[in-house]
Amino acid sequence: MKEDFLHFVWKEQLFNTSDLKTEDGQPIQIIDKGHYNHHAGPDFFNCQIKLDQILWAGNIEIHIKSSDWYRHKHQDDHNYDNVILHVVLIHDMNVHRKDKSTIPTIALQNRFYQESLSRYQRFFQSSSMVYPCRPYLESLDKTIIQQMLSSCLKERLESKNKIIIEHLKQTRNNWDESFYHLLAKSFGFKVNAVPLQLLAETIPLTIIERESNELLKIESLLFGVAGLLQTNDESPYVLKLKREFNHQQNKYKLQSLHPAIWKFGKLRPSNFPTIRIAQFAMLLYRQKRIFKRCINTSTLVSLQSIFEIEASEFWSTHFHFEKPSIAHSKQLGIESINNLIINAVIPFCYSYGKHIGSKILQDKSIEWLCQIKAEKNKYTAIWKQSNYEFSDAGETQGLIELNNAYCAKNKCVHCKIGSTVMKI
């Protein structure tokens, strides 16, 4: 048994409280179970108990065994001086505060409801790939699921905010530069995300802006630094790119990346890095000061229109340099556009809103997510087997966070869905 099960039992009060006594025989009554602490320090804050008819207020610490108090060295930590009750599964010794006073202890070994333990054990012995609660989802109130997904969406935006703030340190708090980096990463669509971010970080946005009067100049910068102009193709377009990049390389002292970092295998041709770089170049050419444009946009439709771009003419008949193909438009599709908005624009809009204290920007970010069609991935496929249909990208983004922060870490008792299933 894990300690978090006892946290769950205490939080939900899933144990017999009649004739409750401490291990030294004092009658005890739980007035207020307190608030669960997700950070360092005692497990529950601001609790109230009656001990021999005297009201006590303070904190509660929970352990599997009483002796864990000393194993965790709480006796030396001032944060635990105000613990008024020690809740354990097994009482194997008396414990004392730093001032040597004994801490009242109750043992739950024979008091919690066995059905709760049975369900808890079934969760962690489940053969389900990700969701041990999956067999119960169909019978669960949909409101509970929606509340958890909404909570997880906010957690996901907050965790992305931390990543953005950390990245801003590298760009000296330059929001435009940082957005340019993250947007490039999103253009890599997972497989080439890291190489595309590295490409953007190698070419400062200031250089792109200086050369933004011509599309060919931006393309030559991106393809040249990407190392993809090391080709035998001698078509007029490629020769122009090479000549321009030779000039830019000398002008800006640029270093090229190794072409081996780009992945083409097992990708659909429309997702080749050559196509994504060409589309990214067109976006940077068409949309100046793109970060400002995105955050100042009022509707999702107008935001999507910013990304309605198509790679230049050469790429209509190519997926690779040197290899012509049947003519086909290389325009960004709506799914790709939404993917960019979900993974780059919305996190940055939310983070910038938080930075400047604009709740309007933060709320707009969430509203946009709730207007975008639900994503399809391996997690939504699992839930579909339980007949749950996701209504929008806000829910599917919440699902990703639910999986990463709770399901994958077996934190079922901290999840509203898991704790509901485990309740009697």
Q: Is the pLDDT reported for residue 374 higher than 90?
A: yes
Q: Tokens at residue 245, please?
A: 């990049």
**Are residues 209 and 308 both part of a single domain?**
yes
Q: How many CB atoms lie within 10 A of CB 8?
A: 22
Alpha-carbon gap, residue 243 to 214, rounded angstroms: 14
**Are residues 100 and 7 both part of a single domain?**
yes
pLDDT at 143: 94
End position of a domain, from candidates 112, 145, 161: 112
DSSP conformational letter for 81: T
User: Domain range holding 74?
Assistant: 3-112
Give the mean model confidence (pLDDT) for residues 285-293: 95
pLDDT at 189: 92
Q: Which residues pair with 62 in a beta bridge?
A: 87
* Neighbouring residues of 40: CB distance < 8 A, sequence distance ≥ 6: 79
Helices (H), strands (E): how many in the chain?
18, 6
CA torsion sign, 23 to 25 to 26 to 28? positive
Q: Is the pLDDT reported for residue 125 higher than 70?
A: no
Asked, for residue 186, whether it belongs to a domain, the answer is yes
Give the mean model confidence (pLDDT) for residues 212-224: 97
pLDDT at 424: 47
How high does pLDDT run on average in the chain?
Answer: 92
| C-beta separation of 275 from 346 below 8 A | no
End position of a domain, from candidates 112, 135, 161: 112
pLDDT at 124: 65
Amino acid in the structure at residue 283: L
Confidence of residue 256 (pLDDT cuts 50, 70, 90): very high
**Are residues 183 and 88 both part of a single domain?**
no
Lowest pLDDT segment from 15-29, 105-119, 215-229, 297-311: 105-119
Give the mean model confidence (pLDDT) for residues 335-347: 97
Tell me if residue 27 falls in helix, strand or coil.
strand
Asked, for residue 188, whether it belongs to a domain, the answer is yes
Going from the C-alpha of 85 to that of each of 37, 95, 105, the distances in angstroms are 15, 11, 6
Q: pLDDT for 149-163, tens place per residue? A: 999 999 999 999 999
Q: Is the pLDDT reported for residue 234 higher than 50?
A: yes
End position of a domain, from candidates 112, 143, 166: 112
**Are residues 105 and 240 both part of a single domain?**
no
Q: Is the pLDDT reported for residue 126 higher than 60?
A: no
**Are residues 179 and 258 both part of a single domain?**
yes
What's the pTM value of the predicted model, to 2 decimals? Answer: 0.82
**Are residues 186 and 107 both part of a single domain?**
no
pLDDT at 87: 96
Radius of gyration of the chain (CA): 28
Amino acid in the structure at residue 375: E
Q: Give the helix, strand, coil percentages of the chain, each rounded to 5.
A: 55, 10, 35
Strands 83-90 and 105-107 turn out to be: parallel
Alpha-carbon gap, residue 395 to 149, rounded angstroms: 6
Tell me if residue 196 falls in helix, strand or coil.
helix
Asked, for residue 332, whether it belongs to a domain, the answer is yes
Asked, for residue 251, whether it belongs to a domain, the answer is yes
Q: If we measure between CA atoms, which residue out of 270, 302, 272 comes closest to residue 287?
A: 302
Give the mean model confidence (pLDDT) for residues 355-372: 97
Into how many domains does the chain fold?
Answer: 2
| C-beta separation of 371 from 342 below 8 A | no
Give the mean model confidence (pLDDT) for residues 83-110: 92
DSSP string, 247-303: HHHHHHT--PPPGGG---TTS-GGG-HHHHHHHHHHHHHH-TTHHHHHHH--SHHHH
Tell me if residue 55 falls in helix, strand or coil.
strand
Asked, for residue 369, whether it belongs to a domain, the answer is no
Asked, for residue 67, whether it belongs to a domain, the answer is yes
**Are residues 65 and 200 both part of a single domain?**
no
Asked, for residue 66, whether it belongs to a domain, the answer is yes
**Are residues 240 and 321 both part of a single domain?**
yes
Q: If we measure between CA atoms, which residue out of 302, 135, 319, 358 comes closest to residue 233?
A: 319
Alpha-carbon gap, residue 380 to 400, rounded angstroms: 9
**Count of positions (residues) in the chain:** 424
Confidence of residue 385 (pLDDT cuts 50, 70, 90): confident
Lowest pLDDT segment from 61-75, 108-122, 241-255: 108-122
Asked, for residue 29, whether it belongs to a domain, the answer is yes
* Neighbouring residues of 416: CB distance < 8 A, sequence distance ≥ 6: 144, 147, 148, 151
| Selection from 17-21, 200-204, 267-271 with the highest mean pLDDT | 200-204
